[in-house]
Amino acid sequence: MGEERAVAAESGTRARTRRAIVDAAVALLAGDPTASLGDVATAAGVGRTTVHRYFPERSDLLAAISADVLDKVEAATERARLDDGPAAEALERLCQEYFELGDGLTLMFDTPQLTNWSDWDEETPADLHFLHTVRRGHAEGSIDAELHEEWVRNLVWALLYTAWEHTRTTGTPKHSALTLCLHTLRKAIAP
């Protein structure tokens, strides 16, 4: 029994260390995509050899970040409850959820090699649910039917990126940038 607890504690410690490295890498690389693995180690509060033990190559770390961001996007999509209420309101909830993933998603936009790993999926369940929500909005009249679903999806990503950049470059509080993002979205997709 004691041995099982020791193994569970070890795997819990490994998971926390891995999580700390990935989180530190996202925060650091979002501001400086050229940061080294040594910089990531410092930001994570671990030694460089520890980072290399978990991620032998930079590409391994980037693949882990990509997988982590996709998982977070999927969870955020679920939290947005896209099937509840009018589709336009569902997209606003989705923007609010995605906005909280700023560093990870900004990093995805700014670092093309993150989307070049073998497990990257261009059409995730979150993407498909998004497009379904836009089609639902067209049918119910809450989203301008002249705006193609792909256009609306790209518009949402562009607005989010603009809000994140506005916060990063001007020091605008996050809540103010998100308010501007949602206001612009409402006006842009209104029938």
Q: What is the pLDDT of residues 96-140, one digit of tens each?
A: 999 999 888 888 877 766 555 555 556 789 999 999 999 999 999
For residues 113 and 63, give the distance between their C-alpha atoms in angstroms, rounded to a whole number: 9
Confidence class of residue 6 from pLDDT cuts 50, 70 and 90? very low
% pLDDT > 70, the chain: 89
Confidence class of residue 191 from pLDDT cuts 50, 70 and 90? very high
Confidence class of residue 12 from pLDDT cuts 50, 70 and 90? confident
**pLDDT score at 50:** 93
**pLDDT score at 120:** 53
For residue 71, pLDDT beyond 70: yes
The radius of gyration of the chain's CA atoms, rounded to the nearest angstrom, is 19
For residue 3, pLDDT beyond 60: no
**CA-CA-CA-CA torsion for 150, 151, 154, 158, nearest 10 degrees?**
-170
**pLDDT score at 1:** 53
For residues 139 and 146, give the distance between their C-alpha atoms in angstroms, rounded to a whole number: 11
When pLDDT is averaged across residues 162-169 and rounded to a whole number, the result is 91
CATH of domain 66-189: 1.10.357.10
pTM of the predicted structure, to 2 decimals: 0.82
Mean residue pLDDT across the chain: 88
Among 43-47, 115-119, 123-127, 146-150, which stretch is predicted with the lowest mean pLDDT?
Answer: 115-119
**pLDDT score at 110:** 73
Residue in 136, 127, 176 with CA at minimum distance from that of residue 156: 127
- CATH 1.10.10 occupies which residues in the chain? 1-56
**pLDDT score at 111:** 72
When pLDDT is averaged across residues 136-145 and rounded to a whole number, the result is 97
> Cα 110 from chain centroid?
12
**CA-CA-CA-CA torsion for 95, 98, 102, 107, nearest 10 degrees?**
-120
**pLDDT score at 146:** 97
CATH of domain 1-56: 1.10.10
- CATH 1.10.357.10 occupies which residues in the chain? 66-189
